[in-house]
Amino acid sequence: MKLMSCLRATKDVRSSRKKLTSLIGRKKKTSKDTVPERRLSTYERRERIYALMELDRQMIREQKLKEAEIIRKAVEQLMEFERQLNRRR
């Protein structure tokens, strides 16, 4: 019997538990300037994602074009070097 009385929570503990849950349960208000991602509609989120994906694709295309141009210039230099060698012989 004495053991059971030790296990029971006192009234103070219960009230502090309620206070803690009320503090935890409060939501922080967001400012009107910042619109969180979850407030955007599904359509707007998709549009944003597609726009970002298109930007990525465009950057990749530009990078590949730059690499192709560098390779083309290197091949031209190599061919010019071979022509000069053939002229010397």
Q: What is the pLDDT along the chain (89 residues), one digit of tens a residue?
A: 555 555 555 555 556 656 666 666 666 666 656 655 567 788 888 999 999 999 999 999 999 999 999 999 999 999 999 999 999 87
Question: Structural domain boundaries of the chain?
Answer: 61-89
pTM, two decimals, is: 0.47
* Contact indicator for 69, 77 with CB cutoff of 8 Å: no
- Distances in Å between the alpha carbon of 1 and those of 12, 43, 46, 66? 22, 63, 63, 83
End-to-end CA distance of the chain: 112
* Contact indicator for 37, 45 with CB cutoff of 8 Å: yes
**Secondary structure of residue 89 in the 3-state scheme:** coil
